[in-house]
Amino acid sequence: MTRDEVYTKVQGVLVDALGVDEEEVTPTATLKDDLGAESIDYLDIVFRLEKSFNIKIPRGELFPEDLEAVRNDPKYVANGVVTPEGLAEFKRRMPYTDFSEFEKDPQVEKAATLLTVDTITNYVVAKVGA
């Protein structure tokens, strides 16, 4: 399976799970702000990806959990800005996310923009070896 094929299937999953139009699902679209995903939607996306790609997604492997603990730890976030230790922690929990833009201005309130359609595509590509 090529990356493009994976992306097309991921697009279909997000259209079904989030009730959005196909045109809205672009590689850089953020799940929360652009596509309106809420907490239950992340579980729905996991279920649909597992079924669509015949893979198993262990809890927390695709969508990190308990990020509130990271946000509230002064070692990781100081005055609303993610510290270098905090960035390392985010990267450890979200290995399929591109942090290059976020690193230029690591405001913690922008952390929600980190989870994009590309995050999911990157994860699935790694899982299925595309």
Partner 1 sequence: MRWIWIDKFIEFTPRTSATTVKNVTLAEEHLHDVYPDFPIVPHSLLVEGFAQTAGILVGEARNFAEKVILAKVSKATFHRLVRPGDTIQFAAKIDQLSEQGASTSGKVTCDGELVAEIEMMFSHIDQNMAGLEFPEHNFVFTEQFTELLKGYRAAGAVAI
The answer to whether 123 contacts partner 1 (rule: CB under 8 A) is no
**CA-to-CA distance for 43 and 48, rounded, in angstroms?**
9
**CA-to-CA distance for 23 and 15, rounded, in angstroms?**
9
Site string for partner 1, 7-36 (x = CB under 8 A): ----------x-------------------
- Number of residues that make up the chain: 130
**CA-to-CA distance for 114 and 130, rounded, in angstroms?**
23
- Smallest gap from residue 59 Cβ to partner 1 (A): 6
Q: Are strands 81-82 and 77-78 parallel, antiparallel or unpaired?
A: antiparallel
For the segment 39-68, give every residue that binds partner 1 (CB under 8 A). Answer: 39-44, 46-47, 50-51, 59, 63, 65-66, 68
The residue ranges that bind partner 1 (CB under 8 A) are: 17, 39-44, 46-47, 50-51, 59, 63, 65-66, 68-69
